[in-house]
Amino acid sequence: MASRWDVLVDTLKPRAKAGECRVFYAFPLRTPGFMAVQYLLCGPQTPYATLRRSVEIVTWIAQARRCQAVVCQAISDRLSERVMNRWGYVRHAKTLGPGHYIHRLSDRL
């Protein structure tokens, strides 16, 4: 699991190559039917198209695994609520703090 410390470290010294986008995800055993995006790491000068394609691939993987939803916590100044809504993510779990989003893939939720 990523923490705010990991985000700070990546801001100061990026661990990804230029133009690269890495997505770390899991299928938690305690919440079957959900996919958790635990960490998304972009290198310097990563184009918006690469980030957008990464989000599409995450959705494709979740659909292939027949997940009901994808959940994540967005801790970045560069990810606004408007962008998250455009990608299909809405605010979720407000009691856990800011930045929690869910992308529902089925009507069963």
Sketch out the chain's domains with CATH numbers: 4-104 (3.40.630.30)
Q: What is the pLDDT of residue 57?
A: 95
pLDDT profile of the chain (109 residues), mean per 10: 59 72 89 89 86 93 95 81 91 83 77
Q: What is the pLDDT of residue 109?
A: 47
Contact 19, 49 (CB under 8 A): no
Q: What is the pLDDT of residue 10?
A: 60
Contact 2, 25 (CB under 8 A): no
